[in-house]
Structure 1
């Protein structure tokens, strides 16, 4: 943007020293400077956009990886600690807003530098006009900041209500058959409609502030442009400034609209990114229910019995064992203890599960309930897909990629 900010200065010099003074050499010199500045601006713009896109996608994908790893680390504790809608919104909406906020930092920084360069040129040419710019820009930023605080609060409220609505939608879809069976479909549909209307009202409240912010993006730079051009015309009329300088000042005033708009856009994106970052960091700060043992024992080389002292159950290795419980809740509680999904005194051989690493427990003990989904056929067929003739090496690479994901 600095190259673009210097274009009005080059044009003004071309008018004063080339056209008005009828100096063809000076006209060609400053005309060439305009061309060079245009090439620099185009090249820098391409590099800036590439860097911004890399930053946005890199931040989004890295955040998604951290969210996925945190979800895997929490394991069975995830549904207990986080609402379903919260994790869905974090993985779909928040990562995009966080990436947009980081991408806007480059454009916002460039806008600040460009405004500083223009202000320095104006101060050197006319300290009065430079002072107008130096006072006008912070004033506009202050007015915009007054709108950002209510926007931040309303976006936070909207984000929370969206998470609740998404969670309710997930619950309705997952339990639709049960709801129809007990006749509760209409009740939950009414609740969903009511929640949807609350989310819509919160969205309208956010849109009102955003509309004021968009209006400020047009009005405030326009006022500053008008003041600068009027003062410049007055100085030309009184002989304190040349025609080329007036054209340059008009170019500066028109140019300032773009960096000021970029600043307000960056402020809005950063506000949304801050809301998203708070939700993401709150999720990443969660800790698993059980801390792994500091000293991991040597892994077992052979099978070992699984014993639950609370119920007196011992599951012998290599045998099919069926357990009858008084209620389904008791069976679920027992399975959670045996799989180390709740804190218990269950032992594998002579070693408590609390002393074993989670990977060793998951390798030896698999707990499957009615909600789990399994592949209908061999895993290699699911990974290979129809009509694929990939060899064993390709399948191995595919399995490795799935494991790393």
Structure 2
């Protein structure tokens, strides 16, 4: 595969059983590129290894006063130099291609996983950790995949050179082979400590990145309460801890580099001593001595590649484990995602009532259903579950849309049928038109969605923030995460975006928690009117929103405790009344009676 062919049409299904298996899977995905790199690497180092032989032949030609032999040797040296340069160029080209294609494959897998999990991802893995995996870890994984083929070429050429020396001069060849083995094995006792230090440094780096992203995300709030210095001190401490871990890790690798300099140096001294002894005894000529010395000097080059590959593997293993942790979330928790579509599902997508076997919750098709939960965290997890994410631990059975289980249909169809908006939706930077450019049924236009979400003041603010000065609200520019707007304005824009999508089932988690009562009442009426005939589930405890619902479901202790209109439940269900009115005394009495 060439770089111009990126991105991959299908990045594949990774092996997420372990970090090592994931690296092996990546290697298998580009066997053609690895074979090319191995071939060019073997040719390149083979040409380098042939230089000592030609140098020895040239010296023998000078000693024998053979002009013809010297001319032939010079011509061969020119050919070897040209082939070596060409092979080196192709090796670099192929190796970099392998690196980039492997990194691109991992990035595509992470992007696909992020899109599949949505907002659930950052609740299971820290945002800073995801950023580090998508940037630094991807690069380290690609580095190992790229370096392995060059390492394999170095092994082939090294074994060939040692074998040739043993055949040519057994005593000297055995000395060289034993020395090479000692140099390589001298690194292995140091690798476990290097791996531990690299993992520790990576953990500190991830923590610092997480603190930095959290600080930037909450900078506006921090300035409002004067907390910038507190978070800055925390980041300073995390940064110093990361620096100390990096220095400690660098010391280990400097020790490994020192060993890789000392051991080959000792081997070279031993070979020169033995070669000089053989030359003095007349068993080696001048040209042969130069050939042996040059061959040993050449072996220092592949030995450096061994160290580089060991370093790449050391850094890539923890990176691969972290990538697997992210990539394995969906495979572990949505085991039905890879099954074929249910035969009961209609071709245009499932329809019907939305039911949850675990809690007994039922949202009737075409009606506005409000869900009240005693615990806000449970409401958030239940909303995710209704969207096809089994986020409530210990619960079995997938939610059903009609007679179709959501985890038995492809994720794309499940997302098209059921859209979940969590309580903290993300708004990306860009114009309002770009924000509202989402897949939609076409039944609801942008103007109707913005009107139902009561975004008039937002449109006025954006009309003053147009880049071209046109005053057109749709050309108004939103800053990153729309931080130029208030929390209530961001919440209403996100609601308008969800309403514009117009899915078969819309699940909203506290869509009006950041707005005032007057605005909330208008949103409740607008939501009811715009979603008429569509299934809408709203998780809320606001009386203004509950009063507009066709039916209210009260969930307590993981099960449906009461169902009915809001006003009727206020009279008949003390526990429901306690949650809605936030009456602590009533809550206590209800718990005692229960």
Q: Normalised by the shorter chain, which TM-score bucket?
A: 0.7 to 0.9
Q: Which residue of 1 aligns with 2:222?
A: 179
Distance 1:76 1:240, change over 3 A: same
1:102 is matched with 145
- In structure 2, relative to structure 1, the CA distance for the partners of 1:248 and 1:69 (3 Å cut) is same
Which of 187, 192, 196 lines up with 1:149 in the alignment? 192
Q: Does 2:410 match 1:362?
A: no
User: CA RMSD, aligned part only?
Assistant: 3.4
Deviation at 1:251, TM superposition (A): 1.4
Shift of 1:337: 6.0
Structure 1 pair 233/353, CA: closer, same or farther in 2 (3 Å)? closer
The residue that corresponds to 2:346 in the other structure is: 298
Aligned residues: 381
Distance 1:76-1:21 versus aligned 2 partners, 3 A rule: same
Q: Cα offset for 1:143?
A: 0.9
Aligned partner of residue 124 in structure 1, secondary structure: helix
Give the whole-Å Cα distance in 1 for the aligned partners of 2:292 and 2:91: 26
Matched position secondary structure for 1:286: helix
Task: Say whether the 8 Å CA contact 1:48–1:106 is kept in structure 2.
Answer: no
CA offset digits 1:101-129 (Å, max 9, x no partner)? 11111221222222222222322332221
How many Å apart are 1:324 and its aligned residue?
10
Q: In the alignment, what sits opposite 1:378? A: 433
> 3-state SS of the aligned residue for 1:120?
helix
**Cα deviations across residues 354-386 of structure 1 (Å, max 9, x unaligned)?**
666543343244444453216534349999xx9
Are 2:39 and 1:6 equivalent residues in the alignment? no
- Report what 1:136 is aligned to: 179
- SS of the residue aligned with 2:178? helix
Q: 1:94 to 1:312 in 2, by over 3 A?
A: closer
Name which structure has the greater RCO, CA cutoff 8 Å, separation 6+: 1
- Which range is displaced more, 54-63 or 352-361? 352-361
Task: Give matches, 1:225-240, under 5 Å.
Answer: 225-240=268-283
Kindly provide the CA deviation profile for residues 23-63 of structure 1, in whole angstroms up to 9, marking residues without a partner as x. Answer: 22222222222222222222221221122111111111111
Shift of 1:183: 4.1
1:244-255 equivalent positions in 2, closer than 5 A: 244-255=287-298
Paired position in structure 2 for 1:201: 244
| 2:260 paired residue among 217, 221, 231 | 217
TM-score (norm 2): 0.57
Stretches of structure 2 that go unaligned for 5 or more consecutive residues are 1-44, 439-466, 469-594
The reply to whether residue 122 of structure 1 matches residue 175 of structure 2 is no
Contact 1:229–1:253 (CA under 8 A) maintained in structure 2: no
- Give 1:272 shift: 1.3
Which of residues 80, 92, 114 is equivalent to 1:71? 114
Which one is further off, 339-348 or 354-363? Answer: 339-348
2:68 pairs with 1:20: no
Superposition TM-score, scaled by structure 1 size: 0.81
User: Relative to structure 2, which stretch is displaced further, 71-80 or 207-216?
Assistant: 71-80
Unaligned 5+ runs, structure 1 = 388-405
Contact 1:306 1:316 in 2 (8 A): no
More strand by share: 2
DSSP 3-state at the match of 2:284: coil
Q: Give, in angstroms, the shift of residue 300 of structure 1.
A: 5.6
Residue 431 of structure 2: SS of its match in structure 1? Answer: coil
Question: 1:288-319 CA distances to partner (integer Å, 9 max, x unpaired)?
Answer: 645558515115689867689977766846xx
Partner of 1:399: none
Cα deviation for residue 220 of structure 1 reads 1.9
CA contact (8 A) 1:5 1:117 kept: no
1:201 CA displacement: 1.6
Q: Is the 8 A contact 2:349 2:413 kept in 1?
A: no
Query: Relative to 1, partners in 2 of residues 1:190 and 1:15: Cα closer, same or farther, differing over 3 Å?
Result: same
Query: What are the equivalent positions in structure 2 for 1:307-326 lying under 5 Å apart?
Result: 316=366
